Structure formats: structure tokens, C-alpha cells
Structure 1
Amino acid sequence: MTAGPTLRAEDVAEIHDALALFAHVFDNDDIAELGRVFTEDAVIENTIGSGYTIDGLASARQFTGRRSPDTPDHQTLDTVLLVDASGTVRARSRYIATLIDGEVHGGDYYDILERTARGWRIRYRVSVPRHPILDRIDLPAQFADAWRPTAENVVRFERD
């Protein structure tokens, strides 16, 4: 088995913090803190219904400020970190979203992360619902390949 790429434990912890922080910041309308989650030029896509794209941190702040009070409450879990041969850091996480009526939805976040001067941030995110089956834009079959864990891309901790 080929050993996968390594990241420092501090990097892994910071990446997990950024991913977890999304739900806290977004669900609590903490617009000022979105910069602790996303890069300035982040692209955020959602495939529900006809889909939508948010380009940049300023647009993400506007989107968050306009969201309805009954927007689902999010939890991010089961994150796997991957690094490809070019050094691109990807995260694939499951999410659970609880609606105001108690109904639960779940899906996947596909993220590309970037180390910035202020720490690790999400540069690209696409949210893909899994259950219940909803109208959505289907991504190309090969899209998920870059986020599929293999012996070559699963992050290992760097040992001192």
C-alpha cells in the first residue's frame, strides 16, 4: 500500500475547525465571521432545485444576511481530508440539516481548501443533497472521483 500525503497535525486541526465553524457562523447569522471560513474569492455552489452559485466572500455575506429564519440548522460530520499529487487539499464531509418542522435532510459537502495568511479557509464548496431525494442538478459522474478516498490521497499525520 502506498503511503498517502502528509499534513501537520496543526493543519489538520485548523482545517477541521474551519469546516465545523461554517455551521456555527452561518446558522447564527454571524456574517462578520464568514471570513474565518471562506477565502475572499470563494465559490459556493448548491445543487438543490435549479442550483445557485455564490461568488466571493462579499456575496456570501449578502446571501447569509438575506436567508430566512427557517433555514435549516446544519451539522458537519464524517470529514475525510485528501491531498492530490499537485498538493490540492480537499475535504469531503457529510452534513445533516434539520428543518424547522423537524424533518432531516442529509448530503455531502465537497470542499477545496487553501492555506491563507490568516489560516486554512474553504476556497470552493459544492453542497449535494443525498436524502431525501430532492430535485437537483446532477454533477458529472466523474466529479466525485477527486474526492474519493484512496491509499494515495488520504491525509496522514506528519510525524516529528
Structure 2
Amino acid sequence: MSAPLRHADRQEIAGVLALFAHAFDNGEVADLGLVFTKDAVIELRRTGREVAGLDAIAEFSTALAEGDAPDHHTLDTVLVAETPGRVRARSRYLAVLPDGAVHNGDFLDVLVLTDDGWRIARRVSVPRYPLGEPLVPLPEGYVDPWRPTRSG
């Protein structure tokens, strides 16, 4: 059963998810601490790569900003509150690449409430298009915790 989520929490989480694209895509590593916890993990299902820790995420962002940074757009977010201080966010993303190609997929995020506000503790990036299987497919039922429950 999910815990209730206040409107103010929803607004703050929306701001964190929006700030990701600005901070990450532009290599603004000083702002990544406003998006991720210090021990956050980004899991890229297309490549099987896992980036662990705020310092590693900053290095990853900086390397991409030097020429290969996609232009992320996060939209259609659904929030599922699990417990007080822990929320799952399922968002659709569009990523425009430097050559004009467009990729899209889902961000499956786990956000936690820290002393400094809501932060992403884990992000799983699951590609959809261009067509093709991700290198590391999701296990059966993996996305279920990100689906809202239906009552009655």
C-alpha cells in the first residue's frame, strides 16, 4: 500500500526531475547534488553500464558534455509513493542526439527524501526506440513497482 504524497512533495519531485536535464546535459556538475543522492546509481539498460556515486555521475556528465551529450526531455511522469520518504517515478524521456537522431524510453527512478529535499537514489534508463533489444533486458515484472495501484 502506498503512502500519501503531499502536493508540495509532488512539486519538488517534478523540479528535481526537470533539473536533471539542465544539470546533466550541460555538464553543470555543481548542480547534480540537487538531483542525485551522494550514493546514487544510474543504470543504462541499452549498454549494461552502471554509474555509481555522485562523483562518477559528474564524470559521466562532463565526458558527455564535451561532445556527445544528448538533449534530454523528461515527460509524462507518474509517481507512486511507497513509504514516507520514498517514491518511485516513472517518466518517459526523449533524447535528441548531436546528429539529430532521437531516442526515447523510460526513466524508472527511486527518489528519497533527504535532509536537503527529494533526490534520485536510483535511475534505470530503459530504451524504447530506435527499435532493438537492450543489451540487458529487464526481468519479468521489473516495472510493476512503478505502476500505480488501482483500488476497487
- TM-score normalized with structure 1 length: 0.86
1:141 match: secondary structure: coil
Give unpaired runs (5+ residues) of structure 2. none
Q: Deviations over 1:55-103 (max 9, x none)?
A: 111111111122241321100000000023x443100000000112222
Q: Deviations over 1:8-41 (max 9, x none)?
A: 1111100010011100111111011100000011
Equivalent position amino acid for 2:74 in 1: T
Residue in 2 aligned with 1:125? 123
Matches within 5 A, 1:104-143: 104-136=102-134, 137-143=136-142
Give unpaired runs (5+ residues) of structure 1. 153-160
Residue in 1 aligned with 2:45? 47
Matches within 5 A, 1:3-152: 5-49=3-47, 51-67=48-64, 68-84=66-82, 86-87=83-84, 88-136=86-134, 137-151=136-150
- State how many pairs are aligned: 148
Equivalent position amino acid for 2:122 in 1: Y
- In 1, are the aligned partners of 2:27 and 2:58 still within 8 Å (CA)? no
Distance across 2 between alignment mates of 1:58 and 1:100 = 25
Equivalent position amino acid for 1:148 in 2: R
Distance across 2 between alignment mates of 1:142 and 1:34 = 30
1:90 match: secondary structure: strand
Equivalent position amino acid for 1:138 in 2: P
Deviation at 1:138, TM superposition (A): 0.2
- In 2, are the aligned partners of 1:82 and 1:91 still within 8 Å (CA)? yes
RMSD of equivalent CA atoms: 1.6
Distance across 1 between alignment mates of 2:32 and 2:132 = 27
2:138 match: secondary structure: coil
Deviation at 1:4, TM superposition (A): 6.0
The structure 1 segments of at least 4 consecutive aligned residues displaced by more than 4 Å after TM superposition are none
Alignment identity in percent?
51
2:143 match: secondary structure: helix
